[in-house]
Structure 1
Amino acid sequence: MERPAWAPEEVDMTRPSVARVYDYYLGGSHNFEADRRFAGQVLEVLPEMASVAQANRAFLRRAVRYLCAQGVTQFLDLGSGIPTAGNVHEIAAAEVPDSRVLYVDNDPIAAVHSRALLSGDDRTEVVAADLTDPARLLADPLLRAHLDLDRPVAVLLVSVLHFVQDSQDPAGIIRSYMDATVPGSHLVISHASNEGNTAADSAQSIYNRDRSPNAMRMRSVEEVRTLFGDLTLLDPGVVRIPAWRPESPVGPEAERYPGVAGVARL
């Protein structure tokens, strides 16, 4: 298997990666045969997975635009993934040109491509780090230099918390990040859910097989709502992803959508 020039030497091309599988769902080109095979297994049981990924990106766009309208111009994008169309810095800059974004991901390819994409953009930076270690990330000099934690920050956890297991205390991780921010900051979550969707159950089981990119823990609407802790949930609360402040009416099929989302204010 020939290694592409864009793939760092430390990347194991024979094992699928969450970031690269998601890149494939979105129609990206920075993925390997192992990622495509894995994605193909998921698509067999959940054929709408590619459209699910697209709808999740659309939710991210709506949420960032909303936050910019509220005067939030700093974004901490945790588990940001491999750059593709509609990145946070692009969405935010279109609304508020001096917005600042810090991307964080532990996938080497995600970090390499983010840095290449953002070369020369001093409003956006990249940190290669694991979001499940908030103390280490929050102490990172680049984060402290790039984001002013004395001003409101939007903490984005979009399509990533279902790869954080209960034993890792996702609520505690979130609380650590939000405790480092000031009133007026916001938390954005989208999360895979198998509530009312047996096909999503089947997809979850594939992620939990041997050699999977990461174990997956889908959560119910109520479990995701709990992750927001005592923050103030904005209308319409935690809902199926297409139903969060949609730009056009959504049909009844949204009730089976295998993902939920919400935005809350500190």
Structure 2
Amino acid sequence: MDHTHGELRDRLQTDRPHSARVWNYLLGGKDNYPVDSEVGEVILATFPEFATVARLQRQFLVRAVRYLAGEAGIRQFLDIGTGLPTADNTHEVAQRIAPDSRIVYVDNDPLVLTHARALLTSTPEGACAYLDADVRDPERILAQARDTLDFDRPIGLTLLSIMGQLSDDDRPAEVVSTLLDALPSGSYLALTDGTNTNDALNTAVAGYNQQSVHTYHLRAPERIAAFFDGLDLVEPGVVHTSAWRPDPDAPRPEEAAVEAAVCGVARKA
């Protein structure tokens, strides 16, 4: 085994849960280890609606990218914190609408890196790339993304359930500002994250944080809304995830799951 593969093996840390793998378990995926499923079950025991929350977040990704590639005419996407591949990844949704769409995926989970080939199956007209990088290093992400994306043309930046991975000491607002400042006028931000408004969810996340390699930080809805400061919000604004332009036939989820996260899409003037 060469040095690169050895380093990747060490980073997997199969004895401790990782956020992308736990999320994969909650979505019904198979790309996780026993330690991830065990923590997933503990979370569900405390907050049974969490699997629904994970699905609602994923469904928002589909609707947001569909809006950006369709109504907004965006042809470039920077997807940070992409997680493990599943149905309807960003490039699949975007390229169904606009085959020439170009997508850069970013994640720092080593298991996501091993699945990167599944993320790179682009149409001939478009392009996909994967960066093994941390959202806490936005300058590096921006520099490497320029190899695939044209920063003179609008870009759709997606930060879905990723800013909660940053503590306040990581200065998440500054990370978002650094990313947005580099994007041209006409670019968009799509963002969703978990709220601290449900006691059972707060307890479940606190238990997860005690065991996981990564910690998650729930925030008040108004603090999540502040990530959109200075941008022009797309209707209906910052709302619960299931309420952002829902599909007409979408079933009504459990109230606790609805209240667990907020989201929005906004344009940079």
TM-score higher than 0.5 here? yes
CA distance in 2, matches of 1:236, 1:134: 28
* Cα deviation code 1:9-31 (max 9, x no counterpart): 22211011001111111111110
* Cα deviation code 1:118-140 (max 9, x no counterpart): 25766111010001111121122
* Cα deviation code 1:48-100 (max 9, x no counterpart): 11121111111110000100121101110000011111100000011111111
Q: Which moved more, 1:73-82 or 1:8-17?
A: 8-17
Tell me if the contact between 2:91 and 2:122 (Cα under 8 Å) persists in the aligned partners: no
Q: Please give the residue correspondences for 1:72-91 in structure 2 after superposition, counting only pairs within 5 Å.
A: 72-91=74-93
Q: How high is the sequence identity, in percent, across the aligned residues?
A: 41
- Counterpart amino acid of residue 112 in structure 1: T
- Counterpart amino acid of residue 138 in structure 1: L
Deviation at 1:163, TM superposition (A): 0.9
- Counterpart amino acid of residue 132 in structure 1: R
Gaps of 5+ in 1: none
CA distance in 2, matches of 1:253, 1:109: 31
* Matched residue, 1:167: 169
CA distance in 1, matches of 2:184, 2:119: 30
Query: SS of the residue aligned with 1:208?
Result: helix
CA distance in 1, matches of 2:137, 2:40: 28
Q: Please give the residue correspondences for 1:65-214 in structure 2 after superposition, counting only pairs within 5 Å.
A: 65-69=66-70, 70-118=72-120, 123-140=127-144, 143-195=145-197, 197-209=198-210, 211-214=211-214
Deviation at 1:116, TM superposition (A): 4.3
Tell me if the contact between 1:186 and 1:263 (Cα under 8 Å) persists in the aligned partners: yes
- Counterpart amino acid of residue 227 in structure 1: F
2:249 pairs with 1:245:
no
CA distance in 1, matches of 2:189, 2:227: 10
Deviation at 1:227, TM superposition (A): 1.3
Deviation at 1:229, TM superposition (A): 2.0
- Counterpart amino acid of residue 192 in structure 1: G
- Counterpart amino acid of residue 218 in structure 1: L
Gaps of 5+ in 2: none
Tell me if the contact between 2:119 and 2:128 (Cα under 8 Å) persists in the aligned partners: no
In structure 2, the CA distance between the partners of 1:224 and 1:169, relative to structure 1 (3 Å rule), is: same
Deviation at 1:207, TM superposition (A): 2.5
Tell me if the contact between 1:221 and 1:260 (Cα under 8 Å) persists in the aligned partners: yes
Deviation at 1:252, TM superposition (A): 9.0
Tell me if the contact between 1:79 and 1:160 (Cα under 8 Å) persists in the aligned partners: yes
CA distance in 1, matches of 2:196, 2:122: 41
CA distance in 2, matches of 1:19, 1:252: 23
CA distance in 1, matches of 2:13, 2:253: 42
In structure 2, the CA distance between the partners of 1:148 and 1:22, relative to structure 1 (3 Å rule), is: same
* Cα deviation code 1:125-184 (max 9, x no counterpart): 1010001111121122xx112000100001100011111111111110001111111111
* Matched residue, 2:57: 56
Moved beyond 4 Å, runs of 4+: 119-122, 249-256
Q: TM-score, normalised by structure 2?
A: 0.90
Query: SS of the residue aligned with 2:215?
Result: coil
CA distance in 2, matches of 1:18, 1:49: 13
Q: TM-score, normalised by structure 1?
A: 0.91
RMSD between superposed Cα atoms in Å: 2.0
